[in-house]
Chain A
Amino acid sequence: MKTLTGILFALLIATTMNAEDAKYVKAMEKNIAMMDSAKAETAGTVYQDAYNAFERIAAANPKEWLPLYYQSFCEVMIGLQQKENPKKDECLDKAEALISKADSIKPDQSEIYVMKSFVTSMKISVDPQNRGQQLGMRSSILLGKAMQLDPENPRSYFLRGQGLVYTPEQFGGGKEKAIPVLEKALEKFAKFKPSSSIMPHWGETRCKAALDECRKPE
């Protein structure tokens, strides 16, 4: 009897735990889909809704890094829609804090370094004259680290290419330089299989758009 109780009890815990997991994955999938559906005209509220949903999931699952990762991504997107620079900075600071928290939960993730670099390059875009040199270097180091951790992660190549588009030719940037890197990123996107349904998979469409923009004759 005692063993039976023990087995049943273990089973009970296992099923409830799986239920928790399934609930987590389902909620994540739903919100990632919502985020992916964001269109230019609805982006404002969609990213805020997704951000809020990820915040709730993160609060209930303090050991998971992915909700924080997506929260950070949404916050960058919200930041980009702000009109005033101090407001943009407020969002980007929050995004940076979130991704740092994700990093402390799960260190050495290529995706986390990509996000860190993404946040940093968006900070540059707020005030390129004053921040370009120092933050540009930091953003580049972070991408290097992301590539080192996972050479097959297409998003690091995409961001590298994107960065080159906005770097003046005098500093080794420009559209010409960006094309091969973005092409490489697209190749990697084609081969890329996220290890689970809730792992990051964004960027391919943006990457294509960036490449088309580069190829457009001036």
Chain B
Amino acid sequence: MKRLIFLLFISCAPFSLWAQTKITGTVTDKQGKPVPGANVFIKDTYDGASSDANGKFSFTTDEKGEKILSVTFLGFQPSDQKINLDGKEITCKATLKEAVSELKTVTISAGSFEASDERKITILRPLDIVTTAGAAGDIYGAIQTLPGTGVVGEKEGLYVRGGDASETKTFIDGLLVDNPYFSSVPDVPQRGRFSPFLFKGTSFSSGGYSAQYGQAMSSALILETQDMPEQTAINAGFMSVGGSIGKTNRWKNTSFGVYAGYINLTPYYAIFKQQRDWSRAPQSGNGSLTFRHKTSQTGILKAFVNYAYSDLALAFPDTTDPSLQRKRNFSLGNNNVFTNATYKEIIGRKWTLFTAASFSYNKDKISIDTNKILSTNHLFQSRIMLSRPFGELSTIRFGWEFQKPVSATSYNQYSTPFDETYHAGYAEADFYVTEKLVTRFGGRFENSAALNKNNIAPRASLAYKTGEFSQVSFAYGDFFQAPDKSYLTTYPSSGFAFEKATHYILNFQHVDEKQTFRIEGYYKKYSDLFKLNTIFFANGEAVIPGNSGNGYAKGFELFWRDKKTLKYGDYWISYSFLDTKRNYHNYPVEATPTFAAKHTASVVWKYFLPKWNTFAGFTYVYATGRPYFNPNNPVFLGDRTPDYHNLSLNFNYLTSIKKNFTVLVFSIGNVLGIDQVFTYRYSHDGSRREAIGPAATRTFFAAIFINIGSQKDDSDKYN
């Protein structure tokens, strides 16, 4: 009983029995500067204090014995130290190490431009794409305002640093998009198939990219689709040329979206005179389904299906007619399906698994006068990647990729099939030596059954942070690509090899929240390019195909973006200098290719008028003349087109219709009506030529987009 009373006694009065201990000291950072406001306390107790303006702290505690003194402060790693509380005053020094933060950590920047929704300070945001004048809401249009890309008005595609359009590949969630543009039409460049609103992030690499991507000698455009939509909503759009409607349903862990769009250019072409001789103006429709499901706290399953068709017919000059008066009739019907499914989950404590599969199908039904061309492409592909962090910042990843394209092209009664099986494996590590210095080493192994060849492509990059906002970066890599399948099928069993490009890139950038300055120099060496060699005999000549082509591209680029100087204003300026020559395909000698301009510059300017709730903007693009083929000039590709100028304007008016967010868009391309010549086309005998310019001198576009949040403000119910 006595013992019990004693027990009760001590449980009620422990604090008065023991003496208090006073703890004083200072908190500093690694450089010895005081850290004010830090939390200094004895772990698992309320006893503690904040450090003052000089980093000093002082408090008393009733705790006794060996305890842990913790120091925490936002932006620093917590620090713990053992102390012994025995009533005697304790003086401590705590040194805090800065926490790892994205802002302070160097990233590999050579060759890449990123547009992301996330916090990261990025050069472009998805909204920038939609609001760039001249881009007309096309991802590729906006990318063309970035340095390193050329202006090629007669054909779609990204022509990057002296590379042709086939050297740039588009990837959606890591999966190759076989036909990223609407099908080609003679002298009418096509838009990208996919709406910028589908993507949360866009990363454009003009060289030196990661070992995750292959079969692209110049450039990779990496698009990442949106995650779960915020809420159930309806989006409707009415354009001068068509309309679209979409609905997304959001449940707790699942979302499902339906979208349908239709475009018909007949009324537009009836009002605005076109330079092309359309017999059936383009019309197209597409429908898509998106599905998202959170399989767990960390897992997400995404699926996307898109179907599109298009139809058009026009007449273009027949170059076999010396007068160029005779026309040939071209018509195109296209069906395209793109599907992909991806699954991402964290396995165990460290590993992240990413798996993806895609099937795509494309059918072009083309007729030129009485000739019929039918081309069908199927592509099945899958990808698996495992990655894990190590150390504080470093990551290692490896994966496997499989592609199975099967296609057939028939010209009248002749048909050429093509069948390929492609495997690639890669491994790569981003190793942070310090927060300021990162190296990336990786390699990619590729095997093509069609070529019956393997290759190993090494990749390496390095980046060093030179200041709070600035860094230098270097990238090197080998990039392989199989020759175009039309060559492989035209010259079967000729034993081709992979074409190869080697990149060396040096980059300096200064990126803060409001301003970006970037300069990048590069050297790109092409070898083993596909080439047709003509061999002359005493009694004739023969064309021998092979991989004897080569070339180079070198140059530098400048980029400046400023959101600071003008309130509500934002502009960016790009300049590219390009020196390139190559000897490939049917070139008789080394020459600068038709798609390369020596100087290209663009200015994009955007201004928000708060009073009018309007974004106004212009884009001005300038490029020096490009080579064109003139049969009368003994120098191959010795002529240059006139310089190119284009000024586009756009206005986006933000408003609401019955509380639903609405944007009115109006844009004009080539406002000044400047004569633009992309290239010249000669009659076969060289006696006459025709200038190929844009399909219309000016372009006009008007649209209204409405976002109907169907799960309306709940507060209305309670107001």
Residues of A within 8 A of B (CB): 5, 8, 12, 15-16, 23, 27, 45, 48-49, 51-53, 55-57, 59-60, 75, 84-86, 89-91, 93-94, 129-130, 133-134, 137-138, 140-141, 143-145, 147-148, 151, 156-157, 160, 168, 170-172, 180-181, 184
The reply to whether B74 and A94 contact each other, CB–CB distance below 8 Å, is yes
Residues in A with CB closer than 8 Å to B49 are 52
The reply to whether B75 and A56 contact each other, CB–CB distance below 8 Å, is no
Tell me if B552 counts as interface (CB < 8 A to partner A): no
Identify the closest chain B residue to A145 (Cβ).
Answer: B714
Identify the closest chain B residue to A171 (Cβ).
Answer: B656
Residues in B with CB closer than 8 Å to A94 are 74
The reply to whether A147 and B45 contact each other, CB–CB distance below 8 Å, is no
The reply to whether B72 and A55 contact each other, CB–CB distance below 8 Å, is yes
Residues in B with CB closer than 8 Å to A140 are 713, 715
Cα distance A160–B715 in the bound complex, in angstroms: 8
Identify the closest chain A residue to B127 (Cβ).
Answer: A130
Cα distance A151–B719 in the bound complex, in angstroms: 9
Cα distance A52–B27 in the bound complex, in angstroms: 14
Q: How many A-B residue pairs have CB under 8 A?
A: 102
Q: A86-B513, A170-B654, A172-B656 are in contact. Are A133 and B718 (CB under 8 A)?
A: no
Q: A172-B656, A184-B719 are in contact. Are A12 and B101 (CB under 8 A)?
A: no
6 sample A-B contacts, Cβ–Cβ < 8 Å, listed by A number: A27-B46, A134-B230, A137-B230, A137-B231, A151-B718, A172-B659
The reply to whether B45 and A86 contact each other, CB–CB distance below 8 Å, is no
The reply to whether A181 and B719 contact each other, CB–CB distance below 8 Å, is yes
CB distance from A218 to the nearest CB of B (A): 14
The reply to whether B11 and A16 contact each other, CB–CB distance below 8 Å, is yes
The reply to whether B37 and A147 contact each other, CB–CB distance below 8 Å, is no
Cα distance A85–B103 in the bound complex, in angstroms: 12
Cα distance A110–B605 in the bound complex, in angstroms: 44
Tell me if B271 counts as interface (CB < 8 A to partner A): no
The reply to whether B709 and A45 contact each other, CB–CB distance below 8 Å, is no
Which of A12, A52, A53, A59 is in CB contact (< 8 Å) with B7?
A12
Residues in B with CB closer than 8 Å to A151 are 718
Q: A15-B12, A130-B127, A143-B715 are in contact. Are A138 and B75 (CB under 8 A)?
A: no
The reply to whether A59 and B513 contact each other, CB–CB distance below 8 Å, is no
Q: Chain B: how many interface residues by the 8 Å CB criterion?
A: 45
Residues in B with CB closer than 8 Å to A60 are 44-46
Residues in B with CB closer than 8 Å to A143 are 714-715
Residues in A with CB closer than 8 Å to B230 are 134, 137-138, 141
The reply to whether A48 and B43 contact each other, CB–CB distance below 8 Å, is no
Identify the closest chain B residue to A133 (Cβ).
Answer: B661
Identify the closest chain B residue to A137 (Cβ).
Answer: B230
Which of A45, A49, A138, A170 is in CB contact (< 8 Å) with B656?
A170
Tell me if B572 counts as interface (CB < 8 A to partner A): no
Cα distance A141–B37 in the bound complex, in angstroms: 34
Q: A12-B11, A168-B613 are in contact. Are A59 and B231 (CB under 8 A)?
A: no
Residues in A with CB closer than 8 Å to B2 are none
Tell me if B655 counts as interface (CB < 8 A to partner A): yes
Cα distance A157–B659 in the bound complex, in angstroms: 19
Cα distance A53–B103 in the bound complex, in angstroms: 28
The reply to whether B39 and A144 contact each other, CB–CB distance below 8 Å, is no
Identify the closest chain A residue to B663 (Cβ).
Answer: A133
Residues in B with CB closer than 8 Å to A141 are 230-231, 711, 714
Tell me if B542 counts as interface (CB < 8 A to partner A): no
Tell me if B432 counts as interface (CB < 8 A to partner A): no
Residues in B with CB closer than 8 Å to A16 are 11
Tell me if B566 counts as interface (CB < 8 A to partner A): no
Tell me if B252 counts as interface (CB < 8 A to partner A): no
CB distance from A66 to the nearest CB of B (A): 14
Cα distance A88–B609 in the bound complex, in angstroms: 26
Residues in A with CB closer than 8 Å to B714 are 141, 143-145, 147-148
B residues 456-514 in Cβ contact with A at 8 Å = 513
Cα distance A201–B7 in the bound complex, in angstroms: 41
Q: A86-B103, A89-B119 are in contact. Are A15 and B11 (CB under 8 A)?
A: yes
Cα distance A85–B75 in the bound complex, in angstroms: 14
Residues in B with CB closer than 8 Å to A57 are 46
Cα distance A34–B718 in the bound complex, in angstroms: 33
Identify the closest chain A residue to B512 (Cβ).
Answer: A86
Q: A55-B72, A145-B714, A171-B656 are in contact. Are A12 and B41 (CB under 8 A)?
A: no
Which of A90, A129, A171, A184 is in CB contact (< 8 Å) with B74?
A90
The reply to whether B715 and A147 contact each other, CB–CB distance below 8 Å, is yes
Task: Beyond the given A12-B11, A23-B46, please list 9 additional residue pairs across the A-B interface where CB-CB is below 8 A.
Answer: A8-B4, A8-B8, A56-B39, A57-B46, A90-B101, A94-B74, A156-B715, A180-B719, A181-B719
Cα distance A114–B511 in the bound complex, in angstroms: 35
Residues in A with CB closer than 8 Å to B513 are 84-86
Residues in A with CB closer than 8 Å to B8 are 8, 12
The reply to whether A52 and B119 contact each other, CB–CB distance below 8 Å, is no
Interface string of B633-658 (1 = CB under 8 A from A): 00000000000000000000011100
Q: A94-B74, A143-B715 are in contact. Are A45 and B661 (CB under 8 A)?
A: no
Residues in B with CB closer than 8 Å to A144 are 713-715
Cα distance A16–B121 in the bound complex, in angstroms: 52
Cα distance A49–B48 in the bound complex, in angstroms: 10
The reply to whether B11 and A49 contact each other, CB–CB distance below 8 Å, is no
The reply to whether A52 and B711 contact each other, CB–CB distance below 8 Å, is no
Tell me if B284 counts as interface (CB < 8 A to partner A): no
B residues 18-69 in Cβ contact with A at 8 Å = 37-39, 41, 43-50
CB distance from B4 to the nearest CB of A (A): 6
Residues in A with CB closer than 8 Å to B661 are 133, 171
Tell me if B365 counts as interface (CB < 8 A to partner A): no
CB distance from B429 to the nearest CB of A (A): 28
CB distance from B100 to the nearest CB of A (A): 12
Interface string of B529-546 (1 = CB under 8 A from A): 000000000000000000
Tell me if B554 counts as interface (CB < 8 A to partner A): no
B residues 377-400 in Cβ contact with A at 8 Å = none
CB distance from B233 to the nearest CB of A (A): 8
Residues in A with CB closer than 8 Å to B436 are none
Cα distance A207–B719 in the bound complex, in angstroms: 16
